[in-house]
Structure 1
Amino acid sequence: MSSVKGAQSISRTLQVLRVIAGGLGEGVKLSWITRRTGLAKPTAHRLLQALLAEGMVEKSESEGYFLGPECYVLGVIADQRYGLSHIASEPVARIAAECGDSAFFSIRSEWHSLCLVRKDGNYPIKTHVLQPGTRLPLGVGGGGIAMLSALGDDEVEQCLVANAEECAEHYPHDQRADQLRRIAECRELGYGINRGSVVAVSWGIGAVVRDPRGEVLGTLSIAAIESRLQPERQQVLGPQLVREAAALERKIQEAQRMRQ
């Protein structure tokens, strides 16, 4: 029984950390943590005190809770092992240079996507919706559509339920019906298309990247102003992203074999 309680406590602690990480450096209040995790206030407070003692979380009296320095240290160590940002930088830079627009590599973080790498092409008008560190619900944006579409139907349903409140509050054009329609389109085409659902003039296209086990790892994507991502160009860039995603998967597999 004690081992079960211990595992439950670890799971709850990770839920709290993920909610704080979702604040993207803006500080998260206790009330928001309890709302997002479903934890009782005393339980969440107890977990936060333990995380504060370990340096995993910091607290500002006026702004709330932030990830602490120990999270940064663990992130640096993890990046040395997995090196996803380094591995993905080359194809992202190549895509940006070839298409002239902005290219990205984002990873899946439970029911969200997190942008790790951005490279800009030489076209003078750029979209700035997606930056390194930007966190979006899966299904939002070209890359988010690609990742959500690559999940099984049961996971898609879990994701839609988990993100319903956030999408209703912040992404009015990314509701359940919108996302189901985009999932069907992405599964047919092989790549996801965002037609300005977040910002009207900012369009995007994305292709899923899987890890060596075949699970959804992340996405390669392109963002541009509306006039540069019309159907004719979508039909060129979409398959290009799919090819680049497959090549990136092979690089990740090779890197994993070398570590073993």
Structure 2
Amino acid sequence: MGKPPMKVSPIQGAQSVSRTLQVLRAIAGQLGRGVSLAYITHQTELTKPTVHRLLQALMAEGMVDRSEEEGYFLGPECYALGVIADQRYGLSRIASTPVKRIAEECGDSAFFSLRSEWHSICLIREDGNYPIKTHVLQPGTRLPLGVGGGGIAMLAALDDDEIERCLDANAEECATRFPHDQRSDLLPRVAECRALGYGINRGSVVSGSWGVGAVVRDEADRVIGSLSIAAIDSRLQPDRQQQFGPLLVREAKALESKIQQAQRTRR
């Protein structure tokens, strides 16, 4: 997928925090595989001494581990924080059942992605039984809103002012990494999604890898994520778009009810 988005925080004095998060995201992007110092430096576009200094600090705090043979990994403190965060949100547990059900129904790959301001992060992937799969989206993949079927659905669910802010915030990243996901590409997809109720990606990220997605909202009607499927293009032509788009919308509505119930229970 290339480099993850690496933006310096606009908050004065927060540059070190922003750089530290860049390093953690670069490590996390390899989905449990070890990464080298050179890899992190390339992904973050930070200098080698800066990355080395940040890694030393993160290792001292247990946020990063290092293996002589395999390189750097997320450490046990990251896992502990993730467990605590999951107790607050619980989305991976709640969303895993519908994602698995969708994958079984369509035979292709199904996903739940979480909104993170102007980006989405894939949390769950389940593969169906069709032997040819698309591998663009994996747990941990971070994409600008509007990229991919689920990203289109999330972007379209924002109000117009939010859409403009999102497109402005992601313009440089999309110009660099997603040449077929520019403002002029995304706005027609937003209009289509609003008309249909679900977003369609016709291979904008990787040619031949198509997707369909539906937005998921919380109790306050805020966009929190999406359910989506991805497949090779021959598996997502209009007939199957019309079959599985509404299915995703139904599953998203059911998931919203589960999430809202969980939110009320935690009060």
Using the size of structure 2 for normalisation, the TM-score is: 0.79
Displacement of 1:58 in angstroms is 7.3
Could you say if the C-alpha distance between residues 81 and 124 of structure 1 is closer, same or farther in structure 2, counting changes exceeding 3 Å?
same
SS in 2 for 1:203: strand
> In 2, are the aligned partners of 1:20 and 1:33 still within 8 Å (CA)?
no
Could you say if the C-alpha distance between residues 154 and 33 of structure 1 is closer, same or farther in structure 2, counting changes exceeding 3 Å?
farther
Q: Percent identical across equivalent pairs?
A: 70
Correspondence list, 1:26-41, <5 A: 28-29=40-41, 32=44
RMSD: 3.1
Could you say if the C-alpha distance between residues 100 and 48 of structure 1 is closer, same or farther in structure 2, counting changes exceeding 3 Å?
closer
> In 1, are the aligned partners of 2:23 and 2:44 still within 8 Å (CA)?
no
The answer to whether the aligner puts 1:205 opposite 2:212 as a matched pair is yes
> In 2, are the aligned partners of 1:143 and 1:221 still within 8 Å (CA)?
yes
Q: Please name the residue that 1:224 is paired with.
A: 231
> In 2, are the aligned partners of 1:201 and 1:226 still within 8 Å (CA)?
yes
The answer to whether the aligner puts 1:182 opposite 2:189 as a matched pair is yes
Could you say if the C-alpha distance between residues 134 and 247 of structure 1 is closer, same or farther in structure 2, counting changes exceeding 3 Å?
same
User: Mean alpha-carbon deviation: is it higher for 20-29 or for 177-186?
Assistant: 20-29
> In 2, are the aligned partners of 1:16 and 1:33 still within 8 Å (CA)?
no
Aligned partner (choices 4, 15, 23) of residue 20 of structure 1: 23
Tell me the amino acid that sits aligned with residue 195 of structure 1.
Answer: R
SS in 2 for 1:94: helix
Figure out how many residues of one structure are paired with residues of the other and give that number. Answer: 245
The answer to whether the aligner puts 1:74 opposite 2:81 as a matched pair is yes
Distance 2:122 2:199 in 1: 16
Q: Please name the residue that 1:151 is paired with.
A: 158
Could you say if the C-alpha distance between residues 200 and 249 of structure 1 is closer, same or farther in structure 2, counting changes exceeding 3 Å?
same
Correspondence list, 1:1-260, <5 A: 15-23=18-26, 24-25=29-30, 28-29=40-41, 32=44, 54-56=61-63, 69-260=76-267
Distance 1:124 1:48 in 2: 40
> In 2, are the aligned partners of 1:139 and 1:174 still within 8 Å (CA)?
yes
1:62-111 CA-partner distances (Å, limit 9, x unpaired): xx997654333211111133221111010001111111111100101122
Q: Please name the residue that 1:39 is paired with.
A: none
Could you say if the C-alpha distance between residues 169 and 80 of structure 1 is closer, same or farther in structure 2, counting changes exceeding 3 Å?
same
SS in 1 for 2:133: coil
Q: Which runs of 5+ in 2 are unaligned?
A: 1-10
SS in 2 for 1:118: strand
Displacement of 1:222 in angstroms is 0.5
Could you say if the C-alpha distance between residues 258 and 153 of structure 1 is closer, same or farther in structure 2, counting changes exceeding 3 Å?
same
Distance 1:247 1:130 in 2: 23
1:127-162 CA-partner distances (Å, limit 9, x unpaired): 111111111111110011111111122221222122
Tell me the amino acid that sits aligned with residue 106 of structure 1.
Answer: S
